[in-house]
Every structure is written in C-alpha cells, then in structure tokens.
Amino acid sequence: MQSLMTQKNKDLLLRIGKQWAVIFFVAELIFFGLTAKGFFTVNTFQIVLFFGTAIMLMAVGELFVIITGGIDLSVGYVMGLSSIVSTKLIVAFAGSGLPELGAILLGILITLVLGLIPGMINGLLISRLNVPPFIATFSMLGISHGVSELLITEGAAKNLPHMANVIGNGHFLYFAQESGFSFFVRPEVARGVKVFELLPNVVVMTFILVAIFAFVLKRTVFGVHTYAIGGNEDSAVRSGINVKNHIMKIYMLSSFLAASAGVIYMLKYVTGKADAGASLLLDSIAAVVIGGASLSGGSGTVWKAILGAVIIAVLETGLRILGIPTFDKYIMVGVILIFAVLIDQVFPETTYKDKE
C-alpha cells in the first residue's frame, strides 16, 4: 500500500514535471492579472501576440533545427536582412509605377525566396563540408549583418508606401455598433463611437505559418524524418533517409521563417533595420528549450515551442504594464531558461515521452 502511494505520488510528480511550462504559464497569467492593471483584456492579449510574432516564427524555425541536434545562430540577422531587403524592394517597385498592393506582395514574395539563400549556404556547409552548425551559422550571422549594412549605406530602409502600414498595423476584423462586422477595412464611424479591433493582421499571418509548420512536423514524412535524424543520425542514414538533403532543407526552413519574421517586422514598423532581430537569439532558443526540447536533438513540439514564446511575450508585456524596465526581462528569461533545463534534468523521461 505504502509503495503504491509513493508510486502514485511519483506519477503525479512526473506529470506535473512534464507540464511545468503550462503551470508556469498559468501562474504567470495569475500573477500579472493580480498585479498589472488592465492585464486581462482582449487588447492586452492582442498586444502580447502582436509583439510576440517574431519570437514565435523564429522559435518554430529554431525548433526544427534543434530537433535535428543543430543550432541556428543566424536567424536574428537574417530577419534584419530580410526586413531591409523587403523594404528596399517594395520602395523600388512602388517607385517604378506598380500599384501599392502589387509592389508589397511582389516585394514580400521575392524576399521570402531570397530568404532561403542563407539557409541553403548554412545547410551546404553543415551537411556537405561537415562544418559544425555553431560555426557555419555564426559565419552566416556575420555575412548577413555585413550585407545588411552594405544595403543601407546609400540610405536607410524607409519610405514604404502607406499600404504597408495599413496591413501591418491593421486588424483582420472590425466591429462597430452601427455598421456591424467588417473585414480588413476600418469602418467609418462618427467620432466617439468605439470600434472593436480584433485579430491583428500580422498575428493572423504568423498563426497561418505556424499552423503549416506544425502540420509539417507532426503529420508528414518530413517531420518524421526530422525526429529520426535528431534521435540517431546513423540509424537515419541506414534506414535510407537522405540525411544531407534533409539537413539542408531544415536550415532553409529556419532561414525562411526568419525571413518571414523580417517581413512582418517591416509591415509592423514600416521600416527595415539591420539589427531588428539581434536580441531575439536568446528569446528564440529559450522559447524552444522552455517548450521542453533538448539541445541534443530528437524531441520537441511546435505547440510547446509556441507556448515558450508566448511565456516570454507575456513576461515582456506584463513587465511593461507594471512599469518595470525591460532590463529585468533579460534576467527573467535567463532564469527561466536555466530553470527549464534543470527541470529537464530532474524529470528526464518527460521530454522523451513528448516525442509521441
């Protein structure tokens, strides 16, 4: 009887250990709900998601890389590079007489395609030349930083058409008392009538991308192979997976997501900046690790990485509402990151089970 009890306790403890990120998230919400005024409003949550878009996208990219046992340090500066490239392209297209929307869409499309290149070079170096991921992606960090600075020597990346601002800071759904629901376009109302703004466009875009990649990881052969390579690269090679090609695709995917984060940055802030994502390296890796992925590869899920990203985003917004300087955010993210790994050490089985 006694032993059964302890077994039961142990199981319970294990289950809690496995879900500690969820518990932490709830505790975080309760804490800010009690201390920060006006925290529990739709608006605050939209702001959390609005500012969290870049972390979420880069965390998903980093997750794929970390599952294969690698690391991608270049995401932050690839994001900055793509914010500059997209701005420059759109300004050029708009200047050449294309309609605003056409220029924006074409610019974004070309940027996303170009965004594959850093990842392709990373992947080539890592899979063909056996360069350690840390070194290859660090070189790419330097190179994309250099190219960014090169692009803005002749002038800062700005003067985007007005439409970019409308898309980036607009909402998917508007609701006003008299005119009812309207999509994308803010209804014209008399002064003083409140218009409810729901679902920022950039958040919708981010969620679509995240959903696609969650599907890819969970339900496709590509995803299965990704886990297989991270679990045991040798056996993956022996079971006929083209590991070299797969690794290349993984780094291209990560760099694609970083480029989309850059495009979204461009839409949000209507400008391009070389160091747009410089501070996001810690955040994106922390999000993945808080989500229970192991740096030695083979484990991790998209929704948990997103949970990790949201935990960081809530922390940031909550602290801002409390009026605490953002410096404390870095300390807390660091502490949570270390805490996450320590928990991982105490409950070693938990991350392993997460694979299923």
What's the closest the beta carbon of residue 258 comes to other proteins, in angstroms? Answer: 16
Dump strand ranges (E) for the chain: 171-176, 180-183, 195-200
For 125, the enclosing helix (H) or strand (E) is helix 116-127
Q: From CA 135, how far away is CA 63, in angstroms rounded?
A: 18
- Closer residue to other proteins, CB minimum distance, 1 or 129: 129
Cα angle: 252, vertex 71, 256; to 5 degrees: 25
Q: From CA 324, how far away is CA 308, in angstroms rounded?
A: 21
- Closer residue to other proteins, CB minimum distance, 139 or 165: 139
What's the chain's length in residues? 356
Would you say 136 and 255 are in contact if contact means Cβ atoms under 8 Å apart? no
CA atoms within 13 A on the CB side of 153: 6
Give contact residues for other proteins (rule: CB under 8 A): 71, 73, 125, 129-132, 134-136, 138-143, 145-147, 149-150, 153, 275, 278-279, 282, 285-286, 289, 295-296, 325, 327-335, 337-338, 341-342, 345
Q: With b meaning 16 or more CB within 10 Å and e meaning fewer, what string describes 162-190?
A: ebbebbbbbbeebebeeeeeeeeeeeeee
The Cα diameter of the chain in Å comes to 81
Would you say 33 and 39 are in contact if contact means Cβ atoms under 8 Å apart? yes
What's the closest the beta carbon of residue 118 comes to other proteins, in angstroms? Answer: 11
- Closer residue to other proteins, CB minimum distance, 44 or 284: 284
- Closer residue to other proteins, CB minimum distance, 110 or 295: 295
Q: Residue 342: how many CB atoms within 10 A of its CB?
A: 9
- Residue 49 makes CB contacts below 8 A (sequence gap 6+) with 200, 203, 206, 310, 313
- Closer residue to other proteins, CB minimum distance, 179 or 296: 296
- Closer residue to other proteins, CB minimum distance, 38 or 325: 325
What's the closest the beta carbon of residue 71 comes to other proteins, in angstroms? Answer: 7
What's the closest the beta carbon of residue 34 comes to other proteins, in angstroms? Answer: 23
What's the closest the beta carbon of residue 284 comes to other proteins, in angstroms? Answer: 11
What's the closest the beta carbon of residue 125 comes to other proteins, in angstroms? Answer: 6
What's the closest the beta carbon of residue 134 comes to other proteins, in angstroms? Answer: 6
- Closer residue to other proteins, CB minimum distance, 120 or 295: 295
- Closer residue to other proteins, CB minimum distance, 124 or 199: 124
What's the closest the beta carbon of residue 38 comes to other proteins, in angstroms? Answer: 25
Which letter does DSSP use for residue 41 in this model? Answer: S
